[in-house]
Homo-oligomer: A and B are copies of this chain.
């Protein structure tokens, strides 16, 4: 009897993706449809390589001495960047994968990831249909970029947004102490979508206006206007704190950080140094102290300051995926629908994954100010609920106790 399932994780890490994994394990435990749940190590690659761990026991264990799976950063099962070929061109990997499903008596496959991972879900479910397999293929969203379509927001984004906003506030305190004028440029992840950079607006409060300027990849960036914007802020403020997306580009589409723009195997440009490029620009054009800060991977791995809301939602999205498969659904992704903002209420609904795969959701232009250097109050209202609530971690010897990942080393 086919009553087992496989779960895997793919793409870049977040601090909430393990909460979705925990949700899947919990869902299986509570399900009367599934018996064992296997974790494929390194995403779909683990299925191809026959590299699994049995997570069924974990469903029963509480790991009382360490922070639970849901509060541990990065990906307990490891990741991959493997892109399935079109099965009309090369069906070999599909044959291996579905043979493996047979071998492990698998009734459902859960894939937690972003829009590239949803491409895998889409292709596997289409192949299943073609060969008449009844294995249910269900996606669970994940990305700090918040760029998946047909979901109000994505797991991992709220925690990254909380990190960005709290770090921006701490950088502001650090900057305000000096008497001499200064410019601080904070580079935030987000290649094509500026959601995470926009979240820096949440740092503002009664006494601290930082960031004074926000630049997003949804609109063209103009170097001359940028210098003008800084000069304008300096008329009323001793310092200018700028939030900038790594993916900003000029009106011709050239990245501001063009020096290291090489493409990865998905065709995404790999960027770095946008902050450094702007730092150099300010140094060239103005006589003022300037510093750039790249938040780098810290914004996606700082589990010690996760958003409780984000963790709870991520868990629920994993649980729901199991429920959908148990009910016979396939080719769907669990999504979050916001029911109301005040009080913040949400529900989870399934959505056709082929509408989500390879698509990206950028910021609505009406949420960006006409000056292209800030976001609107509507944006802040959308973002605020996602960072609410703190996680409570266990510490030992001064450090958070995350779930060991020996099996990845």
Contact = CB atoms under 8 A, between A and B. Distances in A.
A13 B177 contact: yes
A176 B293 contact: no
B294 A166 contact: no
A261 to B, nearest CB: 15
Given A207-B406, A404-B207, A307 B398 contact: yes
Contact of A237 (B177, B305, B409): B409
A225 interface: no
A397 B388 contact: yes
Interface stretch (A67-75, A215-223, A250-258, A362-370): A67-75
B169 A402 contact: yes
A188 interface: no
17 contacts: A13-B173, A13-B177, A78-B179, A79-B178, A80-B179, A166-B304, A166-B400, A167-B298, A169-B400, A173-B405, A202-B397, A207-B406, A208-B404, A294-B294, A307-B398, A388-B397, A390-B395
Nearest to A46: B179
A165 B399 contact: yes
Interface in A285-324: 291, 293-294, 296-298, 300-305, 307
Contacts of A29: none
A355 interface: no
A194 B307 CA distance: 34
B296 A293 contact: yes
A205 B202 CA distance: 35
Interface in A156-189: 162, 165-167, 169-171, 173-174, 176-179
Contacts of A244: none
A151 interface: no
Given A78-B179, A178-B78, A409-B207, A302 B170 contact: yes
Contacts of A238: 409
A78 B174 CA distance: 9
Interface residues of A, number: 61
Given A176-B405, A291-B296, A294-B296, 6 more contacts: A78-B176, A166-B399, A169-B402, A176-B408, A206-B404, A298-B298
Contacts of A389: 398
Contact of A297 (B174, B297, B387, B398): B174
Contacts of A296: 291, 293-294
Interface string A179-213: 10000000000000000000000110111100000
A174 B74 contact: yes
A75 B172 CA distance: 11
Contacts of A165: 398-399
A166 to B, nearest CB: 5
Interface in A377-409: 384, 387-390, 395, 397-400, 402, 404-406, 408-409
Contact of A177 (B74, B174, B202, B395): B74
Contacts of A237: 409
Given A165-B399, A400-B166, A177 B408 contact: yes
A387 B298 CA distance: 20
A249 interface: no
Interface in A229-266: 237-238
Contacts of A9: 177
Interface string A44-76: 010000000000000000000000000011110
A42 interface: yes
B207 A73 contact: no
A301 B78 contact: no
